[in-house]
Amino acid sequence: MDLSLSEEQKMIVDQVRRFVREEIWPLEDKLDPDTDELPEADRVRLVKRTKEMGLYGLDIPPEYGGPDVDIVTRTLIAIEMSQHRAGLYAPCYGVFGGVGGPGQLFEANEWQKEKWLYPTLRGEKSAFFGLSEPSGGSDPARAIQTRAVEDGDDYVINGSKLWISNADRAQYGLVFARTDASKGRGGVTCFIVDTDTPGFHVRRIVHTLRSARYATELGFTDMRVPKTHILGKLNGGFSIANDRLARQRIPYSAACIGVAIKAHELAVEYAKIRETFGAALATRQSIQWMLVENEIDIRAARWHALEAASKAHNGEPYRMESSIAKITGSEAGGRVVDRCMQIHGGLGVAKDMPFERWYREMRIRRIGEGPNEVQRHIVARDVLGMGLR
């Protein structure tokens, strides 16, 4: 794989890097360390800037008005976009735009696009992705206990979901329910559900280790959803979920790498100016080795993320590569942030610096988008050529 960047990619990377460092970092200095939102006036101004840069709505296909940016370049952009305090869960606070909901709606029928996709692209609606359940999220297709029972022109849904982001703010979402108990993974269907549907409940807010972000628990009680709200085919929901999860792991990994790069950069600068016992930290072998390990971790994780993106771009199978990218990105990123905190000493755990927020949020990355143990299971299955369960 050729890791050299084209002139266009170099220009875009440099553009995004300057945007984050000149526009986002100064704003964050004035905000609560745990915030994930910008003041509206600043957000509007920065959205205008990204539109002028031709980089607004990066995950929107060009036929729907998005920029024509391939997944490799989007991965490079994600690495740069995440290099700020809120980089892991609010990459540039949404000013680069996006679907604001499940990208699977690009595959919806025209009626569904008119009702949900186009309003989302116009910024009128947002969505949630409802897959994980209290019974377990590591093997969502088999763990799904939410049931949808056919009743005339509708399906009646009963069950619950857990760890769902944005459901308390969204106008609709994708809900995966079991429609055929005899088919395992092949018996799950994806429904598009409006949040004002009778029987839809946000049971509670679930606060987690992550800063201002949180998840929700959802409940469905005799919730009637018309058959016209089925996304894709009946019993074809797992393929929709699987495609989304495999592709999403690439930018998920890239965000971890971007945070690691910025943390490493801050640590290198600090090691050069901080003196102990008459000499700079950078002269101490223990510090040098920590910085060397950072460099090795970052380079390896970046290579794996770009390899997965390259295979996806070329239309090659990339499931194993995206799992490897997710493992290396989240674990290497966590190690880098931990070392940088140690190098900074007491300052490393103070909210004056971004490390303690990155440390908390990076820990979640080993669980989100499929726990790393499950990613290793996926890789083992492909390496061994076996149908491991």
Q: Mind telling me the catalytic residues? A: 369
Exposed, middle or buried, 285 (CB in 10 Å: 0-12/13-18/19+)? exposed
Per the structure block, which two tokens stand in for 213? 């972000």
List Cβ neighbours of 253 (8 Å cut-off, separation of 6 or more): 301, 304, 305, 308, 322, 325, 326, 328, 329, 330
Residue 3 near residue 303 (C-beta atoms within 8 A) = yes
User: DSSP character for 148?
Assistant: E
State the DSSP string of 304-344.
HHHHHHHHHHTT---HHHHHHHHHHHHHHHHHHHHHHHHHH
Query: What three-state secondary structure class fits 261?
Result: helix
Give 230's DSSP letter. E
Neighbour count for residue 206 (Cβ, 10 Å):
12
3-state secondary structure of 159: strand
Rounded CA-CA distance 294/259 in Å is 12
DSSP symbols for 173-223: EEEEEES-TTSGGGGEEEEEEETTSTTEEEEEEEE-SSSS-EEEEEEEEEE
The answer to whether residues 231 and 171 touch, using CB atoms and an 8 Å cutoff, is no
